[in-house]
Structure 1
Amino acid sequence: MGSASRHSIESSKAALAALGTKANLALGEQLFAAGRAFAESAQLRAVLADPAVADADKSSLLGKVFGKGLDATASKLLRQIVSTRWSSQDDLLAGVEEIAIRASVSGAKKTEAVDAELFAFSRAVSSDAELELSLGSKLGNPEAKAAVVVALLQGKASAATIAIVSALVQQPRGRRIGALLSYAADIVADQAGASIATVTSAQPIAAAQLTSLGTSLAKVYGRELNINLVIDPAIIGGLRVQVGDDVIDGSVSSRIQELRLQLAG
């Protein structure tokens, strides 16, 4: 994402925060719908992402395209988003999508661990080749994919999680389902002022130990860490911890591999 787009993301996040309690799931769903409309019309995207087009003209175009399809809050926020400078049309789409995700969880209850639900669904999908193909196929009908998500998650996940996953599978923009869900979970955690630490262990870890690990990592990164635990016997022992692009690999399998490389060298 270009520097102009990064500035626009921050500006859009500030505009969302200024809405207070008006930032909620209903707003997120409207923004997701707007993003799909943008994606379906190259002409619409081109005009809205063009810095040479006046803000008033962009606002007028949004009114003609969406009419009463958006409420006053969504219309105002969408106008603010497109009025900023985006480095490309793809960045504009990504920006609308990110703000939609953030809006969707802004009104979520503290008891709703949306990032954890996204992680759990990602693991479920990755373990089922047929489901992964069904949700990730470029040839699949977007509405049918969303219907599958609702059928699988209804009553098992929060409304925000269902809305986010449904929206992402309808508009993957070339991304694999696992990457989509991981990306969304990171945004959800960040919206709550936290980051995600994926901890891989050969065997289950006691809750007290996970809490202790989370506390230690929080001191290192300066913010709360939501821990996702992955059990993988292949690492033999030890732990592998990933926070964003940072990887701390203390697994036995990693040490064995390093030894093999040393012996081979």
Structure 2
Amino acid sequence: MGSATTQARAAVASALGAATGVDLDVTRELFAAARTVDSSSHLSGALADSSAPASARADVVTAVFGPSFAPTTVALLRTVVEQRWSSVSELIDGLEELAIRAAAVADTHSDIEGELFQFSRTVAANGDLELALGSRVGEPAAKGALVTSLLQGRVSEATVLVASSLVQQPRERRVRSLLRWAEKLVAEQRGRVVATVHAVAPLSEVQATRLQNALGARYGATVTLNTVIDPTVVGGLRVQIADDVIDASVSARLADLRQRIAG
């Protein structure tokens, strides 16, 4: 990620924080805008053209989306294109990131992170489903409709919207990776970090609270736990937060012991 994109992401996140009227309709429009920009090389090229004045790029947004989108949506989109992005691809990433963060703002009560995590586990466990969603063959809208049919009534509307929108625009990215990326962004928007916990059995409420408190003290943030039941750990826990892995499992200790015995 280029430095221009890093600065642009920060500016867009700040604009979202200051915006009013961000609801799921706005979120839906932001995802739709990302798909529209991605589908048109002419439009995406014009919006990512750093040689053009920022005001001119913003006026293109108003001309294209202003007649049909809410004022809040248009204002946020204008902010996105007024920034300098390192590439067209990163501009589109920025639009998707804004939409995902908007979902977290629009629905503050639902466990969007946990629901996205569980759906990513479902996809990982079902090869046919992963193939159907990740294949280049098939209409994007049909993939979105499939996800909606699987999740509707089982998870929050925000989660349905995020998951069904992302599978329509994979852009060479694996579905599981997209879902985990969205999970991370929602947690970040809410000031939390996500810990994936591998355990041989579900954690009790007391165990989960103790682990959350310990990890929260270590990382200086509220921690959300996503638990994976994994018999290979034998006992103990293996915890992953971003690229950090804390392996206190029995299997890890046994492996370490075997290495020491071997020499």
Query: Smaller-chain TM-score range?
Result: over 0.9
Amino acid at match of 1:46: G
Query: 1:67: how far off?
Result: 4.5
What's 2:46 paired with?
A: 47
The answer on whether the counterparts of 1:24 and 1:105 sit within 8 Å (CA) in structure 2 is no
What's 2:197 paired with?
A: 199
What's 2:132 paired with?
A: 134
1:159-197 per-position Cα deviation (integer Å, ceiling 9, x unaligned): 100000011000112111111111101111111111101
Higher mean C-alpha displacement, 76-85 vs 65-74: 65-74
Q: Return the alpha-carbon distance in structure 1 between the equivalents of residues 116 and 128 of structure 2.
A: 19
1:262–1:139 distance in 2 versus 1, CA, 3 Å: farther
Q: Return the alpha-carbon distance in structure 2 between the equivalents of residues 136 and 264 of structure 1.
A: 44
Q: Kindly report which structure 2 residues correspond to 1:1-150, keeping only aligned pairs within 5 A, or say none.
A: 1-20=1-20, 22-110=21-109, 112-150=110-148
Higher mean C-alpha displacement, 245-254 vs 113-122: 245-254
Query: 1:26: how far off?
Result: 1.4
Identity %: 43
The answer on whether the counterparts of 1:38 and 1:45 sit within 8 Å (CA) in structure 2 is yes
Query: 1:238: how far off?
Result: 1.5
Q: Return the alpha-carbon distance in structure 2 between the equivalents of residues 171 and 258 of structure 1.
A: 43
Query: 1:69: how far off?
Result: 2.3
Q: Return the alpha-carbon distance in structure 2 between the equivalents of residues 72 and 252 of structure 1.
A: 55
What's 2:242 paired with?
A: 244
Q: Return the alpha-carbon distance in structure 2 between the equivalents of residues 195 and 61 of structure 1.
A: 36
Query: 1:259: how far off?
Result: 3.6
Query: 1:85: how far off?
Result: 0.8
Q: Return the alpha-carbon distance in structure 1 between the equivalents of residues 81 and 67 of structure 2.
A: 18
Query: 1:260: how far off?
Result: 3.9
Q: Return the alpha-carbon distance in structure 1 between the equivalents of residues 4 and 248 of structure 2.
A: 39
1:233-257 per-position Cα deviation (integer Å, ceiling 9, x unaligned): 0121111001111110112222333
Query: 1:263: how far off?
Result: 4.7
Query: 1:212: how far off?
Result: 0.9
Q: Return the alpha-carbon distance in structure 2 between the equivalents of residues 109 and 196 of structure 1.
A: 16
1:217–1:258 distance in 2 versus 1, CA, 3 Å: same
Q: Return the alpha-carbon distance in structure 1 between the equivalents of residues 93 and 145 of structure 2.
A: 23
Q: Return the alpha-carbon distance in structure 2 between the equivalents of residues 264 and 135 of structure 1.
A: 45
The answer on whether the counterparts of 1:214 and 1:226 sit within 8 Å (CA) in structure 2 is yes
**Partner of 1:239: helix, strand, or coil?**
strand
Query: 1:61: how far off?
Result: 2.0
Gaps of 5+ in 2: none
**Partner of 1:170: helix, strand, or coil?**
coil
Query: 1:264: how far off?
Result: 4.9
1:236–1:51 distance in 2 versus 1, CA, 3 Å: same
The answer on whether the counterparts of 1:27 and 1:74 sit within 8 Å (CA) in structure 2 is yes
Amino acid at match of 1:79: R
Q: Return the alpha-carbon distance in structure 1 between the equivalents of residues 191 and 58 of structure 2.
A: 32
1:264–1:42 distance in 2 versus 1, CA, 3 Å: farther
Q: Return the alpha-carbon distance in structure 1 between the equivalents of residues 54 and 178 of structure 2.
A: 31
Superposition TM-score, scaled by structure 2 size = 0.95
Superposition TM-score, scaled by structure 1 size = 0.95
